[in-house]
Structure 1
Amino acid sequence: MEAVLPVEVEIPSMRVLAESKLKEAEWVKQCYEQLNFIDEKRLTALCHGQCYQQRMARTFNKKGRPREFSPGDLVLRKVLHIAPDSRGKFAYKYDGPFIIQEVFDGEAIILNDMDGNDDALPVNADALKKYYP
């Protein structure tokens, strides 16, 4: 007597079917039924995956706070790279303050210096935080 995995009992494999001594017509019928259930199992797995993604997104979005910027707000810009002559962990983490000139969809923002000089490149809103003097 051989050991049989629980999975093989639920979804019969060739070995389990051969040992149970089914007739060939019954064996073909069971294989055909298993093939018919494949689409249903795929749809079930897809639904579970989508539900999981929605739950994870809901949980993630609960913690996020919407940040809205408008033209004229004062902001600090995060320093994204550290220069080789920096002071290590004592270097400044933010530049600024800057004045917001224009806000675009997709969280792109164009900044001005306090002197009024334009920054040529738009900045992502993730790299900004409001400045309260």
Structure 2
Amino acid sequence: MGETPFMLTYSYEAMVPVEVGSGSLRRDCYTEEDTVVNQMLHLDLLEETRKNSQLRLAAYQQRAARYYNKKVKGHLLKVGDLVLKKVMPNTKNPQHGVFGANWEGPYKIKSNLVEMALSP
């Protein structure tokens, strides 16, 4: 997302423990007035920072979905084809344990619901 969760929550970057214990430019140039002004400025821009972060996240998810969907191959099923049905956890027999079947079937396709829905 480009921003740390701390930045999105508190509108400024956290200090690394090494910076707290030893001297650093960030600590040496600290002034109370500048901090207050900078914090108000960051609070004004915080909402924009969060929106930009959400946009980057949405763009990343779209790229990941596009990459995944390129690899998926569709299969056209016709009436009369044999198919297997995945056994879901709520329908799995608990007595079979880990050695239970993952698939049920084979089942034969009797009708195409899409064609039935489109016909008048």
C-alpha distance after superposition, 1:81-104 (max 9, x if no partner): 57969xx68x8x563351332324
- Which residue number in structure 2 is paired with residue 103 of structure 1? 113
Aligned residues: 90
| TM-score, length-scaled by structure 2 | 0.51
Which has the bigger relative contact order, CA under 8 A and spacing at least 6? Answer: 2
| TM-score, length-scaled by structure 1 | 0.47
Post-superposition, which runs of at least 4 consecutive aligned residues in structure 1 deviate over 3 A? 81-85
- Which residue number in structure 2 is paired with residue 65 of structure 1? 73
Structure 1 or 2: more strand by fraction: 1
| Contiguous gaps of at least 5 residues in structure 1 | 10-15, 106-133
Please list, as runs of the form range in 1=range in 2, the aligned pairs for 1:7-86 lying within 5 A after superposition: 9=26, 16=27, 20-22=30-32, 24=33, 26-70=34-78, 72-78=79-85, 80=87, 81=92
Q: Measure the CA separation in 1 of the matches of 2:67 and 2:113.
A: 28
Q: Measure the CA separation in 2 of the matches of 1:48 and 1:4.
A: 35
Q: Measure the CA separation in 1 of the matches of 2:106 and 2:31.
A: 80
C-alpha distance after superposition, 1:24-64 (max 9, x if no partner): 3x443222111112112112211111111011101111111
Structure 1 or 2: more helix by fraction: 2
Larger Rg: 1
Q: What percent of counterpart residues are identical?
A: 19
| Contiguous gaps of at least 5 residues in structure 2 | 1-19, 116-120
